[in-house]
Amino acid sequence: MPRRRPGALRAERGTYEDRRPPAWAWRLPSVDRLPPAAAAAVHWARPGRGDEVVELLARYRAFLGRPGGRLLPAPSSCPACPGCARDDIAVVRDELADLHRTLPPAARTALGRVLHGLDAEFRRRTLPEPDPPAARWTDGRGRPLAWWHRRLYACT
């Protein structure tokens, strides 16, 4: 039996614009400060993991809500452990960026607005590292890391 081409499958399924999240997604709790339609789309795109989005945004807000002028991110004490890795705010921001890429357009726009405001505060309250080590410029495959990895850390 011949294989169906990915484009044909996508055309049959339709785009996100002409599909609405199912009724069960609308009944789930809201996600941070996203509008109800965007929160439903988050629950629909990440079934069973909507609470993870809430937790990531809460961690990001908690870091930015610390008292004082300048903030210094701290590296995780155990970066190999998935739970402990989130102690590093750059890992939290990476997970939010990955999530942002997987969402339908309307939810992506709403989450992008929230992240834009949080990122502006992050840039304002942290300092760029004047001479970051090579490990902060690229990942293991040689791809450049995002700007939030090149901030001045508490202990490097």
Check whether 75 has a pLDDT greater than 60: yes
Query: Considering the chain, what is the average pLDDT of its residues?
Result: 81
Q: What does the chain look like in DSSP terms, one character per residue?
A: -PPPPHHHHHHHH--STT----HHHHHSPP-TT--HHHHHHHHHHSTT-HHHHHHHHHHHHHHHT-SSS-------S-TTSHHHHTTSHHHHHHHHHHHHHHS-HHHHHHHHHHHHHHHHHHHHHS-B-SS--GGGTB-TTSPBPPGGGSBPPS--
Check whether 60 has a pLDDT greater than 90: yes
Percent of the chain scoring above 90 in pLDDT: 22
| pTM exceeding 0.95 | no
> What is the mean predicted confidence (pLDDT) over 39-50?
75
